[in-house]
């Protein structure tokens, strides 16, 4: 087996062990992640050590904020349920 082929085979083995291949996040996914962590910073919450309630809170604020931003960008009104509504 050539060295290049061996490297590809090793990558395939690692990917299989990890549950499959992955793709790089899109610009939109990166922008949403930036927004989420911006919301965390705004409320003084560290996402990875946050409680379940804290995570839910910042995720809901980010979700609604993202939807409102997308409405402004696209001009298309979205049916967004406001955060914490019944």
pTM of the model: 0.68
pLDDT at 80 over 70: yes
What are 2-47's pLDDT values in tens digits?
A: 677 676 678 778 878 877 776 778 999 999 999 999 999 999 999 9
How long, in residues, is the chain? Answer: 86
85 band by pLDDT with thresholds 50, 70 and 90: low
Radius of gyration of the chain (CA): 19
Q: Give the domain ranges of the chain.
A: 26-75
pLDDT per position as a tens digit, 37-78: 999 999 999 999 999 999 999 999 999 999 999 999 999 988
Helix axes 52-74, 27-42, angle to 10 degrees: 130
């Amino acid at each position: 087996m050539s060295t290049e082929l061996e490297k590809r085979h090793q990558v395939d083995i690692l990917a299989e062990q990890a549950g499959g291949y992955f793709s790089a996040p899109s610009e939109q996914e990166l922008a949403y992640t930036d927004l989420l962590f911006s919301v965390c910073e705004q409320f003084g919450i560290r996402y990875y050590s946050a409680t379940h309630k804290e995570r839910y809170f910042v995720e809901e604020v980010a979700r609604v904020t993202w939807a409102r931003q997308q409405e402004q960008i696209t001009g298309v009104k979205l049916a967004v349920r406001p955060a914490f509504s019944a």
